[in-house]
């Protein structure tokens, strides 16, 4: 319980002052004695957790998770995001770049100050090792999200510009490392963390299972399918398929504990409140009708992902019953407090493993999928399915599992030129597979103060 309390209200001054890109975060951390105890190091690390952005809703709006209702015209910023207006990308890019690099700055401060921390007990020595490991996992995670958002995919060229790797707590003008170099840096951080980590007692601290999860996702992203499978299989061996019970699944969207969780942020803030226009009239967006129709009767994912509501003024097909988004949004409708924001869970490991096997022509992919689907009460795949048909089935089932959680956007960007082409027809948009907006713009607040920073193709670089 004591650790959980660190998440809230810790180092509020640091959090408030590290909130603009034109004032380097490093200016806030100049005192070498600011972190001299294990407790102070833990507190600063907790601040890094809270500084990380939660872009799930915004990325789901950009993907094909939702379809707009007539109410969206009443929310200009959301309407612009849904219709892929460049200005909406610029606004979102600023917020995400700012948040991720603030978290990285906090992690760097922790890592640089740890050698000066004095431990008085063996327990503190162990805790210090955990803090070092967690800081590296969190920093790697921030880099990975930034890379997936602000750079092209590896298959478009590992020599292409990636992101800025900031490994020291100092003011410096740095150029963007290549995509390949960024992947290597992220891999190194995660691998180093596995040498130190002890699996935490609570799901709101990053542990070795989280590091393995991210390594599986990173290697899949990089096209190293056997490595991806090895990491995912390791996590699944520890957790097992049996934790994906009905109760554990439903508890993911409640304030109850769930054995399915690998890592979740613990929050006191409302989550997905921006989706709702009015509790009597409905939401700005509803679940993609094609996705709604794809859920079979008895599929737990459909039951939790859709919150049916008779929506005045909205007719979809021949009904006024709107398929509002469930999960966190259902909790808000039913006035339940959102406590956990699920980030990594066992179902994600299954789907990562199945895709890695599929891309490596490993027949175990179907078995993994069917063991997962059986736990969700969903129809099983034909045991003879293979190749592109199997890959498409895996990605479709992943969409059902993670609808509204921001995962689909990353899959679309990664796979839009192969099995997920034509993804946007169901939601009435026409975004080409090679559209420049798939790669977020570098915020002007960053390149105006960094002479080495280059802008992404298609986006304008404003000069002073």
Structural domains in the chain, CATH included, are 1-25+33-51+85-198 (1.25.40.890)
Task: State the pLDDT at residue 425.
Answer: 65
DSSP H helices, 121-262, are 122-150, 179-193, 208-222, 225-239, 246-251
Task: State the pLDDT at residue 426.
Answer: 59
Between CA 29 and CA 441 the distance in angstroms is 28
With contact defined as beta carbons under 8 Å apart, do 180 and 158 qualify? yes
* Model pLDDT for residues 319-329, shown as the tens digit of each residue: 557 899 999 99
* Model pLDDT for residues 403-442, shown as the tens digit of each residue: 999 999 999 999 998 888 777 765 667 888 899 999 999 9
* Model pLDDT for residues 268-289, shown as the tens digit of each residue: 777 898 999 988 888 999 999 9
Question: The pTM is what?
Answer: 0.92
pLDDT band at 266 (very low <50, low <70, confident <90, very high): confident
DSSP classification of residue 196 = T
Residue 326, token pair as written in the block? 């469930």
Instruction: State what percent of residues in the chain have pLDDT above 90.
Output: 74
End-to-end CA distance of the chain: 50
Given a cut of 90, whether residue 200 has pLDDT beyond it is: no
- DSSP assignments along 234-280, one per residue: HHHHHH-GGG--HHHHHHTTSSS--TTEEEEEE-SS-SSGGGEEETT
Of the two residues 12 and 36, the one the predictor is more confident about is 36
Spell 244-265 as b/e; 16+ CB within 10 A means b.
beeebbebbbeeeebbbbbbbb
Task: State the pLDDT at residue 27.
Answer: 43
């Amino acid at each position: 319980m004591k650790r959980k309390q660190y998440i809230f209200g810790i180092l509020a001054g640091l959090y408030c002052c590290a909130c603009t890109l034109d004032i380097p975060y490093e200016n806030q951390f100049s005192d070498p004695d600011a972190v001299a105890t294990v407790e102070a190091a833990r507190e600063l690390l907790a601040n890094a957790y809270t500084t990380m952005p939660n872009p799930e809703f915004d990325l789901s709006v950009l993907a094909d998770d939702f379809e707009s209702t007539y109410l969206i015209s009443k929310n200009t910023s959301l309407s612009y995001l849904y219709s892929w207006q460049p200005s909406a990308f610029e606004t979102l890019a600023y917020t995400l770049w700012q948040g991720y690099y603030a978290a990285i700055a906090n992690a760097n401060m922790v890592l640089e100050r740890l050698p000066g921390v004095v431990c008085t007990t063996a327990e503190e020595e162990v805790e210090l090792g955990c803090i070092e490991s967690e800081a590296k996992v969190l920093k790697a995670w921030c880099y990975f999200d930034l890379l997936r958002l602000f750079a092209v995919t590896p298959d478009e060229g590992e020599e292409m510009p990636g992101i800025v790797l900031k490994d020291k707590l100092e003011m410096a003008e740095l150029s963007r490392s290549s995509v390949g170099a960024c992947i290597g840096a992220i891999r190194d951080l995660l691998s180093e963390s596995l040498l130190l980590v002890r699996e935490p007692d609570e799901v709101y601290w990053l542990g070795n299972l989280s590091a393995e999860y991210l390594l599986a996702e990173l290697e899949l992203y990089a096209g190293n399918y056997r490595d991806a499978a090895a990491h995912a299989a390791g996590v699944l061996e520890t957790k097992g398929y049996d934790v994906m019970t009905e109760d554990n699944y439903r508890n993911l969207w409640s304030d109850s504990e769930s054995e399915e969780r690998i890592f979740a942020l613990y929050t006191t803030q409302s989550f997905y409140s921006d989706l709702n226009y009015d509790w009597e009239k409905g939401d700005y967006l509803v679940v993609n009708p094609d996705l709604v129709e794809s859920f079979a009767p008895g599929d737990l994912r459909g039951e939790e992902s859709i919150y049916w509501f008779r929506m005045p003024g909205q007719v979809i097909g021949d009904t006024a019953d709107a398929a509002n988004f469930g999960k966190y949004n259902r909790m808000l409708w039913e006035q339940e407090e959102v406590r956990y924001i699920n980030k990594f869970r066992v179902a994600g490991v299954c789907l990562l493993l199945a895709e890695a096997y599929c891309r490596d022509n490993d027949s175990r992919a179907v078995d993994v999928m069917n063991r997962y689907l059986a736990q969700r009460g969903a129809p099983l795949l034909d045991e003879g399915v293979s190749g592109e048909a199997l890959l498409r089935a895996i990605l479709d089932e992943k969409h059902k599992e993670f609808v509204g959680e921001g995962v689909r956007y990353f899959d679309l960007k990664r796979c839009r030129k192969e099995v997920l082409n034509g993804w946007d027809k169901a939601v009435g948009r026409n975004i080409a597979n090679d559209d420049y907006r798939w790669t977020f713009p570098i915020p002007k607040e960053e390149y105006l103060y960094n002479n080495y920073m280059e802008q992404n193709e298609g986006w304008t670089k404003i000069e002073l």
